[in-house]
Each structure stands twice: as C-alpha cells, then as structure tokens.
Structure 1
Amino acid sequence: MASAELQGKYQKLAQEYSKLRAQNQVLKKGVVDEQANSAALKEQLKMKEQSLRKLQQEMDSLTFRNLQLAKRVELLQDELALSEPRGKKNKKSGESSSQLSQEQKSVFDEDLQKKIEENERLHIQFFEADEQHKHVEAELRSRLATLETEAAQHQAVVDGLTRKYMETIEKLQNDKAKLEVKSQTLEKEAKECRLRTEECQLQLKNLHEDLSGRLEESLSIINEKVPFNDTKYSQYNALNVPLHNRRHQLKMRDIAGQALAFVQDLVTALLNFHTYTEQRIQIFPVDSAIDTISPLNQKFSQYLHENASYVRPLEEGMLHLFESITEDTVTVLETTVKLKTFSEHLTSYICFLRKILPYQLKSLEEECESSLCTSALRARNLELSQDMKKMTAVFEKLQTYIALLALPRACRCHQIKMRSYWIKESPKSNEWDPYKEREISRQRHKEFGDRDTRGKAI
C-alpha cells in the first residue's frame, strides 16, 4: 500500500517536473528574444549617436563658414563706406566706377542674402534633427530600461524555476532511493516469508501425520479400555470436578483486565459527555446567568447532574469482577458471580439513558428552533439526535447479552432457546427484539416459578 502511494507520488512529481520544464523552455525563449531586442535597440541607439555627432560636425562647419561670410560682409561694408566719400568728390570722373561698384554691391547683397537664408535653413534643420534625435533617444532609453526590467524579472523567474527543478529532482532521487531500498527490503521479507511458509507447511504436514497417528491410537485405546465415557453427556459431565488450568486462569484475568481498561475509558468518556451536555444547555441558546432557561432544559439539567451515580458503578462493578478472578480459582460463567452485579449496574445506567433520551431530543429540537442556531449547527444537532438513539440501542443490546451471561445455566439455556425460537418464528425480520423477548422471558420465568411452587407444595 505504501509502495503504491509512493509510486503515485513519484508519477505526480514527474508530471509536475515535465510541466515546469516546458514552462522553463518558454521562459528561456522569451528571455533570449528580449535580449535580442535589447541588443538591436542598443545598436540603433549607437547609430543615432553617430548621426548626431555627424550633424554636430556639420553644424560646427556651417557656423565657421557663417562667421567667415559675416566677416566678409563687414569687410565689404567697410569698403563700401570708404568708397562712397571718394565717389562724391569724383562724381564726374568716376560715374563709370560708381556704377561698377553698385553692381558689385548688389551682387554681394544678393549673395549675402542667399547665405543668410541658407544659414537660417540649416539652423532650422539642425534644431529639428536635434529635437528628433533627443525624442528618439528618450524613447529608446525608456524602452531599454523597460526591457532590462523585464529581462531581470524573467531571469529571476528562470532562476526560481531552476532552483525548484533542482529541489524536485533531488526529492525525486531521494524518493527513488527510498523506494529501491524499500523494494529490496520487501523482496527480502517476501523471500523470508516464503521460506517460513515452506517450513510451516512441512511442520503442519508432520504434525498432521503425528496427530493422525495419535488419534488412531487414542481411539483404539478408548474403544478397548474405556467402558463408560461420562463426558459424552452434559448431565453426567456437570458432576465432574473441573480441572484447574493455570494458563486458562491467566488468560481470563488478562481478558478481564482489558475489559476493565475499556470500561474505565468508557466511564471517563460518558462522564465528560454528560457533564459537557449539562454545561452546554446552561449557556446556549439561553445563558442561565442572564436569563431563565426553559423548564425542559431545567429538568434535563437536573437529570444530567445525577449522571455520576449511574456511570461510576459501572467501573466499580467491573473492578470487583476483575478482582474476583484470581490464579487460584476456576473461572467459568457459574463462578463469576460478580458479573451479575455489573449487569445490574449496566441495567441501571440503561434506565438512566432511556429517561434522558426524550429530554435530549426535545432540547435539541428547541435549540434548532432558536434564531441563534445556524444551518451547520442544526445539521450537527440532527446527527447528534440520531447518534443518541443508536447509542441507546447499542447499550440495550449489550445489556441483553451481559444479562444472559449473568443468568444461571438453566435460565441462560432457556434464554438462548427463546432467542433461537424468536429468530425462527420471525423470518421476515433478521433482527432480534430484546423488549419482546424480555416479556416472553418474564412469562416463562413466572411459569417456572409457579411450577417450582407447586412442586414444593407437593
């Protein structure tokens, strides 16, 4: 049985291990994918940084070129400022040169305007590229941080699963080693059992042959040597002096000791049960310290308060019966007179149970009707009602058997015959009714008493 349970446990752990192994493969694949995505994002970030450095270099070159153009414009403006006074003095002689300088100035202005527009356009492109690069860089850094966090979480899960797998594998290996050791032990025990069985069969065969020979010899001796066998008839055998068997006495005393221990445990349990029942009806559903309990529960509590006077004599009666069985006496049903005292105490307790049973059933019904009673408690109360009925019936059946054993031999034989007659005459019911049998027994005892009275009178 234990090997089957361990085998089932081993199979269950193996299934769980395969399931966790499949989950581990999926998680590993997810971690590898996330690592690949992280590497790709890092590569993109590196390329973006390279493009940013390239744009910064272009911006620096454009700034330098713009400064050169600005210096050139200033130089041209200075030259223009110097050429204007000179042109005023030599208007007549230098009209042609003035026209030439004006054309050059317009060309320079147009070239300067183009350079300024180009510079402005480059500044706008650089600013847009810089903003776009910063935005992309922030997104990539945020995504990289998220992926690193997820990768760390996945790695933690993988580490936990790996640790769990290792523990499961170690546990399975230990279980396997234990099962192997147990299997070897069981095989060894089975081998020893087979050897012992063969030895027992051989001994049984030898004993059978020996006893068969002794039986034949004893039968021949009895047939030849014994003229009259008084043990053949119970009437004659009752006149013989019973043999004193020390082993039988020790066995009877041991059985009586076991019965005494059982009765002591039973008495303790019954005292606790009746006492706790009395305490319970005093506090639930109505606390007697705050309000008055119902008259039914008051009467029931009064009866339960007397339980010790009915329960404790059971232990005392069994103790007296145990003390009456010694090694020096011959113990048979006719000599155990203390059994009748125990039977009387048990009958008294049965009467007590019959008296409190209706009160307990009514008390449980009253408790179930209370508003404080939950559905679970109501179900338990119904079970307790059924159990109390069964317990009373079992005690009545036990009392009937003990009363039969405590009767004298003739009356006991008569009771057994009456029970057999009752079962024979009631084929439809396999159960024996002790109440009807008791009434019949009383009538039969009365008839026997009348016969004895008439016999004495004669």
Structure 2
Amino acid sequence: MLQDDLGSPLSRRKKKVGGGAGGPNAVDGVVGTVSGDVQTQELAAKIAQNEQLHLKVSELAHESQKSAAALQTTRAKLESDMSSFSEEMEQKEREHKTEVEAMTNNRAMLEAKLAKYSSELKSLKNTLQREQELSGRLRESSPIGLVGSERQPETVRRETYAALNVPVVDAKLQGRVLVSLRASLELVTSFATQLSTLHSYLQQRCKTYPIDTSTGVQISTVNQKLCKLLHSSSSSYTKPLVSAFSQYSGKLHANPYSTPTGSSDLMEFALAHRRLVAYLDTLTPYLQISLQEECGESVCGVQLTDINMQISNTLPRLVAAFSTADNYLSLLARGPVEGVSVASLPVCLQRLKISIRDLHSVLEALHNLYSSKI
C-alpha cells in the first residue's frame, strides 16, 4: 500500500509535466514534483523505521518465548524438588516420632531400674553396716583378734575384710602363691649363684689385671680394697639372702593358710635383701674407679674402654633398681598394720613386679657387657 502511495504522486507528476513545456502550468509542475519527492522520502524513512520496529518486535518475541520456556523448566524443577522435600520432611517427622517414643520407653525402663538398684543399694549398705558392727564387737570380745599371722579362711564378704584392713585367704590364690614362691626360690638361688660367680670373676681380674710390672701388685690400693669386699660377698650377703627366703617359703608351704605378708620370716628376708643393697651401694664406687684405672692402661684398647664405660654407667642403675625393689619388699614385710594395707596390696605387688622386671633388664645388660668383655 505504501508503495502504491509512492507510485501515485509520480504518475500525477508525469501527467502534469507532459501537459506542455511552455505552458503556464510548467512552474506548477516543477513545484509539485519537488513536493512529491519530499513526501516520497518521508514515506521511505517511515517504511525503514517500520521495518526496524518489526525486527525489534520479532527479536523481543523470540527472547520472550525463550524466557518463558526457561521459566517453565525452572518451575517444573522447583515443583519436583518441593515434592521431594515434602516427602523427606514427612519421613523425618515419622522417624523423629518413632525415636521419641523409643526414648520415652527407655527412660521409663531406666527409671524403674534405678529405683530398683537404689533400693538394693540401700539394703546392702544396711547389711554392710550391721556386719561392720558385728565384726567390731567380735574383735573387741576376741582375745586373739582378727589380725593374726595364721588363721583359717573365713566366709565373710571381701568388702568387709577390706573395710577392716584384714587380709583375705583364698584357696585358689593361695595355690598360685605357693607356685610363685617355688619359682621365686629358684630365681633367688640362681641370682645368688650368678652374683657370687661374677664377684669371683671380678676378684680374679683385679688380681691379674692390671699388674704393676715393677712390683707385681695392683697399681692402686683401690683394687686391694675391692678384692676384700668381693671376697666377703658370698658368705656375708648372698648365702643369708637365700637362706632367709628358703625359710620363708618353707613356712608358707607347711601352713598354706599363713598370710604371705607381715610374717617374721619375710622380714628376715627383707633385712637380708637390704644388707645386700647396702653392700652393692658400697661396692659400686670401687668398681667404677677400678674400671677407670683399667681404661688408663696402654694395653686397654678402644673397644674395651667403651665396654668399661658402659659397665660403669650401668652400675648405678643396678643399685637404683635394687633400692626400688627393696622399698616395696619392706612394705610387704611389715604387714597390713604397719606397712601396706589390704586394699593397697595389689598395687604394691604390681609395682614390686615392675621393679623386679627393671632389675632383670639391668642385670641382663650387665651380663651382656661382661660377656663381651671376656
């Protein structure tokens, strides 16, 4: 239609121009032609503008369709997520409700058990109090007393014994104690024998090495004093130790119901052990000085010097291990009245066991060092 409108002025202009070139309408034709050209240009501009607007409208419509499709997809996804979330929430609510019901039931059961246990505990406390009162009266009325070195096993509860600080006699435990005593006697005897052998070796070595070539005697008086100390070890310290423990073990085997702790025989063994510890403490400085003198000789090589230094450093550890074991042994020898109580007896025995293990490790280290030295 716009093109038809453009064509109509052109045809009219041609007709007017064709009317005559020299007539009076020639000027009017020229003016009409100019006016038609202006209108044509305006229409062309409007047509171009209209085309651009149509293109923009088309692009906007296309973008709107894409946005609408994306929104539809997002909406469908959100609706699906919402449905899943709702189902999950319902499942969680059901589980929570079930859990709350179970916890409520458990709480009721625990409260019932607590009430039952509280009643039983109260009854046990009353029973224990009555037993303690009766035990106190019995101890006051008995001329011998409950605490003795020898007695038959009782049928009283262990808690009552622990409260009264009275040792408990257990037949099975007593059997294990006797087995341990036999093994301990063998170990003590073997230890005394090996210690005497070591002291004999050290005594012979002091007499033969190092030797002063000019006089044929030891270089210093330290070795002479050391030989005297080593010579008295067997008769004065190791034999009494074995004899005391053998007597203690024999008494326990003869009377299985005797208490292992607090007896006079165990005290004799503890005293013999303490004398041995004091002897080793006196002997250690002389051994260290003798080793230093041996290292100072020209015939002493680097390897022998290193071994001697290791032995010198191990000797104080040996005395410390003996002292630790001696402390716990003394507590056991004094018994439950003056030494360790019945309640603390397992702890004391466990620590004595640890100290004996430490002593064994130190003795083993010394044995290896002297073996490499030989």
TM-score where L is the length of structure 1: 0.39
